[in-house]
Structure 1
């Protein structure tokens, strides 16, 4: 089917969309019902399209409507053309959305205080028009903020639940910051059983890390004593440095410089590892700006050795 450039210049998308509806349903009446127009109006649009092209597109009988050979050719062309237009419009909308708008997120304190700043700085440099709102929350409040749609997504621990979807970005083993007055060792690991013989400094019960620790202790028939619990990892570090107890911390929260008063020992037997993820409600889709920020989180939050090697998750605590 040969169509002159002057003819195609006069075609419009509405005519092609009407043509596609009639072709799909083999009926002028069904196509008219889809667009809430009269059957005669739809028939007039198809006649106008046929007159522009100079060829019949449908065989019409009293019982049915079906495409001519040329109509079949146009059907394939029109489908491809409309898909290209829709794709182009989507890209234009996404390009506009990523230059303005808002992104809101909630974040686990240990990630917020150690890794989030470099991500936000990189994002603001590339997309200065996007307004970003961050809430630093312990896990219980973090999941509730996502559940209530108060934020677009969260950055926090993976837990065993079907309510949320998790995109893992970081494997974060637990360490003990042990005052040297409690232990003299050349090793870089410590067993969980050995730790329970010391006073422990732990994060509050509102954190997923605390609940993971307690669940593991129950499985091993172990218990611990603590005189202090805090919401912030930095407080635990200063308490351990003062010799008040062994602080249980994720690796991301460890001091960048070795303490003169305490050993940083990886917990083994069993090893304790939390997985940190981008968290959304099941079935939720993100805006282009949020998706770009998530990409940067995946790229910049983990160090090479911390990247998640498998999406398979161990048995975890309930949200």
Structure 2
């Protein structure tokens, strides 16, 4: 029985020779390839001759004016590009695996989200990636944009922005509510109009927040003058002040307490309904690291508050 002939052994091609070949082919010039590799032109010419000798084919047509690929050269260039692409993919996969075992993420987050949803998100992320450190900065929207723009954080979780240099991926849309002391509104009810709310002493977040801008802009459009009694940086402070009867607190659904204080009414603001959108915010043209991308994915999955969904459904 005859056995198939063994194929000819492949030549042992040095990768440096392939690199020199690809540079000459890409630039159509031995001189430019030499400049890029910090070698003499004669050294690069020698490398190409050595590669041609090993392969047993001519790779370039050479004239005094130009250098062009032969048919064999075109075939080798296509194969070399595919090979380099595969090597680069492999290196990226290795780097991504390493990045997910150790590394650092810098995150900017609005105070309302940080106080209510971030703990659950970070706990889940730490369980999956214990070797990665996450550093969080609680910032107002203006400070958050500056921090993202300067590259101080990988991404932000905050109000949707229309600034042209940012990408905003909306991950949460929610109503604004008023937490109203019963002594200010004995009748209670599930809703309160913006006009009625404007007659009460109000507890609002400070002027640097996007949520405050929603309230002020709506009042201006309606020709209402708000009676701002106190303003604070933290939503939880507004809640405690409302519970003490000091005024009506305007809050996003995500921060409303699961068990409202017996002396307050939780009321959806209507006429008009006030809404806010929360987004994952990045600067355009800047990609996230693999670790930051995984954290962003967890944010998308876990940001929604179940009790907020129930409230929205009950209002429909």
Q: TM-score, normalised by structure 2?
A: 0.87
Work out which of the residue numbers 178, 181, 191 in structure 2 matches 1:179: 181
Distance 1:64 1:124, change over 3 A: same
Show the counterpart of 1:19.
21
Q: What is the CA distance between 1:5 and its match in structure 2?
A: 7.4
- RMSD, aligned α-carbons: 2.4
Structure 2 CA distance for aligned equivalents of residues 158 and 115 of structure 1: 17
Query: How many angstroms apart in 2 are the aligned matches of 1:272 and 1:207?
Result: 15
Is 32-41 or 207-216 further displaced after alignment?
A: 32-41
Contact 1:170-1:306 within 8 A present in 2 as well? no
Matches of 2:247 and 2:79 in 1, distance apart?
73
The answer to whether residue 250 in structure 2 is matched with residue 251 in structure 1 is no
Deviation of 1:240 after TM superposition, in Å, equals 1.7
1:298 has 2:303 as partner: no
Q: Is the 8 A contact 2:258 2:307 kept in 1?
A: no
What is the match of residue 286 of structure 1?
Answer: 288
Corresponding residue for residue 220 of structure 2 = 218
Match among 5, 10, 16 for residue 7 of structure 1: 10
Q: Could you tell me whether the CA contact under 8 Å between 2:254 and 2:305 is conserved in 1?
A: no
Aligned partners of 1:7 and 1:52 also within 8 Å: no
Candidates 241, 244, 248, aligned match of 1:242: 244
Q: Write the distance in 2 (CA, Å) between the matches of 1:75 and 1:126.
A: 42
SS at match of 1:81: helix
Cα distance per residue 1:244-282 (max 9 Å; x no partner): 221100010100123322222222222221111222334
Question: Is 1:265 matched up with 2:267?
Answer: yes
Matched-pair contact (CA < 8 Å) for 2:192–2:269: yes
- Establish whether residue 188 from structure 1 lines up as the match of residue 190 from structure 2: yes
Q: In the aligned structure 2, how far is the partner of 1:110 from the partner of 1:19?
A: 58
Summarize deviations over 1:173-198 as a string: whole Å, max 9, x none: 21111223333557532221111122
Question: Where do 4+ consecutive residues of structure 1 move more than 6 Å?
Answer: 304-307
Q: What CA distance in whole angstroms lies between the structure 1 residues aligned with 2:46 and 2:301?
A: 55
What is the alpha-carbon distance in structure 2 between the residues aligned to residue 87 and residue 165 of structure 1?
A: 26
- 1:126 aligns to what? 128
Q: Distance in 1 between matches of 2:123 and 2:8?
A: 50
- Alpha-carbon distance between aligned partners in 2 of 1:282 and 1:247, rounded to the nearest angstrom: 35
Deviations 1:56-96 (A, max 9, x none): 22222333322222222112111111111111111111211
1:204 matched to which residue of 2?
A: 206
Q: Select 1:228's aligned residue among 223, 227, 230.
A: 230
CA drift at 1:6: 4.0
Work out whether residues 146 and 153 of structure 1, in 8 Å CA contact, stay in contact via their aligned partners in 2.
yes
The equivalent residue for 1:82 is: 84
Structure 1: where are the runs of 5+ without partners? 308-319
Structure-2 residue corresponding to 1:149 = 151
Consecutive unaligned residues of structure 2, counting only runs of 5 or more, are: 1-6, 310-316
Is this contact kept in 1: 2:167–2:281, CA < 8 A?
Answer: yes
> Which residue does 1:316 correspond to in 2?
none
- C-alpha deviation, 1:172, in angstroms: 2.5
Q: d(CA) in 1 for partners of 2:280 and 2:297?
A: 10
